[in-house]
Amino acid sequence: MSVVVIGSANLDLVYEVERIPAPGETVLSRGLASFPGGKGNNQAIAAARAGAETRFIAALGRDAAADELAAQARAAGITLLDRRVDAPTGTAVIFVDRKGENSIVVNSGANAALVDLTEAELAEIAAADVMVVQLETPLDTVTAAIRAARAADTVVVLNAAPSGAFPEALLAEVDILIVNEHEAAELAGEPAGTGERSLMSVLTAHGCDVVITLGADGAFVGGRGADPVKVAAFPVEVKDTTGAGDVFVGAFAASLDRTADERSLVAATEFATAASAIAVQRKGAGPSIPTLDEVRSLLDS
């Protein structure tokens, strides 16, 4: 599969803490490290390591962080189509507690300058089998990318994260929607805690297939006009959940069959669940992303 990812690239500053600080609270960090991050960047690396021919369209600043991210992307085997703009490269401050749970604050920086897709970028979308987009770049850019992909018969995978406003009508132009349970509820206009089957019913009514990720509980896959299928998680010891959702999305896109039928959706979800299970056992969004051989080994075990 050939995959093109349009999205964000950040330098992650990761603080290890005993617990996530409450409002007004100060806590001491046990350690600090920097890693490549950003949803688009993580997903592109995950797709490449899962064996897909991967291209990544992003906006970076003219700074050392940008040079570091570009070098790491190319080292992962990604063809990087990066704009250099007069804004700082995106950054994220991430707190990871002793249970591996996290809290994240993102400064978009150069990511906000990923606007007005060029003819060369549109050609990359048209040439790909699958396009992946998220919501850490301007919505107008996401919309233009989705419509360009649809016109070229490129499979559109939307990871509607982070949560935020998204035009309902645009969901009809998405082939596969991937969200966690909180994002699914917000997108469906339903209260938190609404059951996955109810959320599936609302979201698939827009005409797209849906994958709802459930962390340690696995994932639900809802094909258009089909009963949802539950995919079990792998029991593992969690060290850091940062980027696990992105690993899922990138691995999913890389393993998706061109037909994107129900069988392909379930198989891709199983593969992606294995990839994210490996990732949460490691620290750092970028370094945690597994290779194709590692995922196959877990699936065969």
Binding-site residues for K(+), in ranges, read 240, 242, 279, 282, 284, 288
Which sign, positive or negative, has the C-alpha torsion 246, 248, 251, 257? negative
Question: What residue numbers does the annotated binding site for substrate cover?
Answer: 10-12, 38-42, 136, 246
Question: What residue numbers does the annotated binding site for ATP cover?
Answer: 180, 213-218, 245-246
Q: Of 97, 227, 246, 261, which is the active-site residue?
A: 246
CB atoms within 10 A of CB 278: 21
Alpha-carbon distance of 39 to 161, in angstroms, equals: 9
Q: Which of 9, 137, 146 is nearest to 82 (CA)?
A: 9
How far from 16 is each of 29, 35, 92, CA to CA, in Å? Answer: 5, 13, 14
Structure tokens at 90: 């995106």
Question: What residue numbers does the annotated binding site cover?
Answer: 10-12, 38-42, 136, 180, 213-218, 240, 242, 245-246, 279, 282, 284, 288
For tokens 């891709």, the residue is: 268
Q: Is residue 129 flagged as an active site residue? A: no
Q: Please give the positions annotated as active site.
A: 246
